[in-house]
Structure formats: structure tokens, C-alpha cells
Amino acid sequence: MISIQKIRDDKSSVAKELSKKDKSISLDNIVKSDSELRDLTKKLNDLQSEQNKQSKEIGKLKSKKSADKSVFEDLKKLSNTIKELENEQRTKSQQLRDMLLQIPNMPHKSVPIGESPIDNVISKECSSKKELKFKPKSHVDIVKDLDLIDFEIGAKISGTGFPLYKGNGALLERALINFMIDYNLKNYDYTEIFPPFLVKPGSANTTGQLPKFGEDMYHIEKDDLYLIPTAEVPLTNIHKDEILNLSDLPKYYLAYSGCFRREAGSYGKDTRGLLRVHQFNKVELVKFVHPKDSYSELESLTKQAAKILDMLDLDYRIVELCSGDLSFAASKCYDLEVWAPGEKKWLEVSSCSNFEDFQARRGNIKFRDENNKINYVHTLNGSGLATPRVLAALLETHQTKDGSISIPSSLQPYTGLAEIK
């Protein structure tokens, strides 16, 4: 959430920066609502001051036994007026907050300006340029031929978008998850968390999924709980409504979770096989850091995620998102995309984002700085990684002419296999 003080101080600059993400955003109603709320608050404060003054005067008159009945009636009227204004103030405060919650984060000054994915910038490409000397099969055909995933049975049980992994397919999926968890725990200072997969609305509000993207989440109405679209949601809320000490920072958390997305806006997009599913597995990395360190932390987070692709012997590239392609909550983001030779396309497998203090303001996550002042932390998150498209690219990249799959050496200790025949 953007600070209302920042909007008050320089509305035109904030509006200009927001237009780089979305030209339709207007701050006029927010400014008007804020002005009305401040006028109301001043009026309320003045009346409360008058109430205190009258109460003291009545106290003196009581002690002298000279208080007139009308004085008490006037004070009661004033008290009723104050209660009405307090209710109005609460309503207007919530209305202002609701409007602020609909405004996205501002892009960082280093973000390329653009309107769509075609304006994104490829910052790094890591490719062996290895070409398969036969016509590569799609992962959809590979998993069917090797009996690794059954999309039909998954659809029979739960509907489309819920793949059923079986045999060596289930083994390979579990191996990917364990490999990614172990790599990050052994090489970086993460604390592993196994989080709840259901969260309260307030938790999804902290990270920016709610209220704007509620239709893309699975909601259990009876309990008013949401299935998580990513472990970013429970991890970021670990320190909701807390004040951390300077010595606590940085804090790094890692979690495996199932992820659930309705993909309400996926009409017209490629939904074949594992490319766009409603349930999938992911290892998530979340950081709470000092504001001065957040952009160096973003670079290191992106390198950590990319290292996993190196170890899986996959061709990939790092893409710096332009302003118009940034997510609602991100100030800056790098996407990692792997090359899938069977699909003949780049597949996004990770987003590494710096949210600056946007999520921290929504979740009231603060720290006491070196000057003993209380400020908001900066939060970051990155997929390390999401498995469906990684698995698709892995199968397509490491397929052989006879239809087998060579298992990358990094995964062999987890599968006990050098290949799937």
C-alpha cells in the first residue's frame, strides 16, 4: 500500500509513476477522501477539546453545588455529536483505506518503461545452444508415452487443470521439490517453514492478492478462508503486526507448498498439459530486509533461483519486466524463463520481486532502525522454483531419440535413476 503521506506531499509525481504501470489510475478520489477525513478529524478534535473543557467546568460547579441542569444537557448533546462524528470518522477511514488498497505499487526508477511483455528486457541468456538431432516431443506426449502423468484421470477426479502424477512421474516431481529445498537450505541462510495452505482474508490482503484479485483465488465461504496461490502469502504474514529488531534483519524463509489458482483470466491462453494448471507445487523464497539492502537482495535472490536451472542443465533466460508488465505489488521484478524444445517456446518458471514497503504497510510489518526509529521493512519473494513448467522443460530438454529421459546428475540422488526408459 502506498503511503497516504506520499500522495499528500506530491500527488503529481506519484500519479506519474503509477501511470507507467497503468495509465487509467486516478488519485483524485483518494485526495478528496483524505481531505474530507482530515477536516472531519480536526472538527472532532476541536469538539473533544471543548468536551474536556466543559467537563472540567462542570466539575468545579459541582464542587460548589451551583451546576445548572441546562449545563448537563448541553454536555450530553455535545457527547452525542462526538459519537456520531467518531462513527463517521471510522467509516471514512475505512473507505480511504479501501481505495488505497486498490492502488498498485509504484515501479522502481530502474524498471524499463513499457506497456506489455513485448517491452520486457532480456538481461541474461544462459543457453548451451544444444539442438536435438530429432524432432522433439512435447511433454504432453512424453508423459503419456512413459505413463508419468494422467491428465484424464485428474480431470475425472477434480476437473481440468488438476494433473495426476504417477509412478516415475510422482517420483520425479518429489525429487525436484526435495532437491530445490535442500539446495537453498545448504547454500543460503534460510529457515524452512511448512505453512498452512489456507489463510484468512487479511493474510491475502497483506501480499496484495486481495481485494483486487479475489476471483482468481479459491474461497471457502463457510469458513471465510482462501487456498493459497503461493507460499508467499503465509510466509509474508509470519511477522504481520510485529516490530522486528535491527539485529533480526535480514530474515530469510523457505517453504514448499501446494498452490491453487483458478486462472480466471486464462481464457485464450495455452492450457495444454502442465503449462497452466489450477494446482501445482512450488518452493518459495521470502525475505524481510533493511530498506537500504533490498535491491542487492533482489539480485542475489534472482541468482539463487537461476542456479537451480543451471544444475538441471536447462537453457534459460532472465527477463527484466517493464513497468506495464509488473505485478500489482512489485516495484521491480525479474522473470526466469526456460526453453522447452518440444513446445518451442520460453516458459516462465520463477518471478523474483522486490515489493519495497508495499506489503509491509498492508501487513503492518516494521523494524526498529539504527536510530531507534520505527520504519517498515522491505519484503521480497522469488519462486525457487514452480515445478510444472520446470518439469515440462526438463522432460523435453533431456529426452532421447528412443523416447527415454536422461535424469540430470543433480536429481539422480533423489530419484535413484539415471534415466527413465
pLDDT score at 147: 97
pLDDT score at 65: 59
Q: Tell me, rounded to whole angstroms, the distance of Cα 345 from its chain centroid.
A: 26
Which tens digits make up the pLDDT trace of 196-242? 999 999 999 999 999 999 999 999 999 999 999 999 999 999 999 99
Domains within the chain, CATH numbers bracketed: 28-101 (1.10.287.40), 117-420 (3.30.930.10)
| CA separation for the pair 66, 69 (Å, rounded) | 10
pLDDT score at 19: 97
CB 356 within 8 A of CB 291: yes
Q: What's this model's pTM, rounded to 2 decimal places?
A: 0.92
> Rounded mean pLDDT of 253-259?
98
Give the pLDDT band (50/70/90) at residue 170: very high
pLDDT score at 52: 84
% of residues, the chain, pLDDT over 90: 88
CB 213 within 8 A of CB 263: no
Residue 172 reports pLDDT greater than 60: yes
How is residue 277 written as a grid cell? 494448471
| CA separation for the pair 25, 18 (Å, rounded) | 7
Which tens digits make up the pLDDT trace of 259-283? 999 986 555 567 789 999 999 999 9
> Rounded mean pLDDT of 41-70?
76
How is residue 329 written as a grid cell? 505489488
| Angle formed by the axes of helices 168-187 and 387-397, nearest 10° | 110
Give the pLDDT band (50/70/90) at residue 292: very high
pLDDT score at 128: 74
pLDDT score at 69: 60
Residue that wins the pLDDT comparison between 152 and 65: 152
**DSSP 8-state secondary structure symbol assigned to residue 276:** S
Average pLDDT, the chain: 94
How is residue 212 written as a grid cell? 483486487
263: left (phi over 0), alpha (psi -120 to 50) or beta: left
